[in-house]
Chains A and B, each alone.
Chain A
């Protein structure tokens, strides 16, 4: 069975972040340089650089593309973030200033579901919620500081546009209210926010036992929250019962990102170089399958020919076949996992993409995978 995944080797250095546009023909990618690349899918089904966005002075740590309003936001270690608007007439992306007012590196950025604001996590131990100020034509920010004690590693918005969840290096996952009266928000009460709170109120805090929280995401309906931490744990909580957190302590290397595939399953990926599928039921979370199904290597490599042995001795100074190899599609840690096509009714994902520190972008066809894994249902 050949792999139905499409592998793009975009760079030789690590990809820190990527995001697709609305119809998945274009991609914004940041690697380990201060440049951001806009790549276009060409006729040969390969991505090539269309434009390079140069504004940052340090590594770009995170990018996000707002599909409906067609805006890109990038943030970097130089304490800045920029919003890029596409100039239709001249065909280039123009940066717009963002007043983040942080004094440490920005680590993560995400557009809100309605795309009228975005959240930036930073090493300054605060979260900036930024919205547009039409009077001065720039983006201004409001900070959420208490009680975050360390660098924020990941941020996610709730579908209602009024709540954010963050994961940080102080081993906690938190949910805050981010309703802005400046933008005329009228938040509703919900399980997450039983009574109306003002901006910056801490709604929930979850502890992870000494693991930095690398990835956090609300489920498509917003009722569940999942996060992955450096203690190799995978945690899910349902807003109906905020005291009961379902945790799975895996024996793999830690995950660094996750993506809800439907309301009852999610994929987590990270330092074991392969996305894993987890299913959520009322009783808890269970590991379902590894999603990197590679065909068996022929020969096994047990017997080396005499010629190969002498060559190895000559070139490497070794005579045995020792040494470990990786047999996953990614050869280094996976940094980001994004949904490419989400069914708007059920929230189910059929295609997703992962970017890794090996400079690869892999597009996974979940429908094909589930048939090869024996009728996996999400």
Chain B
């Protein structure tokens, strides 16, 4: 029964996926126009303005793109940095735990990821911080491809993990209950 209801949900959701991803991609393309900007507040400092938020004129209005009430993306931009936070679909308790552990695994290794933020924003599961240094060292179109692929793959990965988990649980339970046969 669980698999049938999931299939139904997927079919109705498929129609919203493409426009959602397109909206995110075009917003990222516009927001990732970053350039080097020295701080106006502190001399000789260069900080990601989206994190410091001290000069209002160099910040963009934050944009939230929602697929439904549970899946959404918040994109905050500025002149030299961009912060993107993703709220991942978590339908039940198991998915919540799996998602939390998976994101935590990646965020603890944020240094190797370069564009990942160590802590997600309030209300979201994972956050990226992209600065002008990243767009200077890496191709902007490849960065966007990476983020879009991340968003599409993350749901699949969590579903796979959940299926594995349920499978293993079933095998363990069968073996254990054989004792009482």
Contact = CB atoms under 8 A, between A and B. Distances in A.
Interface stretch (B7-15, B38-46, B84-92, B122-130): B38-46
Contact of A103 (B33, B35, B43, B140): B43
Contact of A105 (B43, B137, B140, B145): B43
A248 B33 CA distance: 19
Contacts, number: 77
Contact of B141 (A32, A230, A326): A326
Contacts of B46: 77
A357 interface: yes
Contacts of A29: none
A350 interface: no
A253 B58 contact: no
Given A14-B136, A32-B136, A332-B136, A123 B39 contact: yes
Interface string B132-149: 000111011110110000
A257 to B, nearest CB: 11
Nearest to A31: B136
A59 interface: yes
A112 interface: no
Given A77-B46, A150-B55, A212-B79, A332 B135 contact: yes
B20 interface: no
B145 A104 contact: no
Nearest to B138: A332
B29 interface: yes
A150 B59 CA distance: 13
For chain A, the bracket of interface size reads 35 or more
Interface string B8-40: 000000000000000000000110010111111
Nearest to A271: B33
A312 B149 CA distance: 16
B150 to A, nearest CB: 13
B175 interface: no
B20 to A, nearest CB: 18
Contact of B136 (A13, A61, A151, A230): A13
A58 B36 contact: no
A324 interface: yes
B57 interface: yes
Interface string A162-201: 0000000111000000000000000000000000000000
Closest 10 CB pairs of A and B: A105-B38, A324-B141, A271-B33, A77-B38, A14-B136, A123-B40, A150-B57, A123-B38, A323-B145, A169-B57
7 contacts: A58-B38, A77-B44, A78-B44, A79-B44, A150-B40, A151-B38, A324-B142
Given A105-B39, A151-B58, A170-B57, 18 more contacts: A61-B38, A77-B38, A77-B44, A77-B46, A104-B39, A105-B38, A107-B38, A150-B58, A151-B37, A169-B55, A169-B79, A212-B58, A253-B30, A271-B33, A324-B144, A325-B141, A326-B139, A331-B139
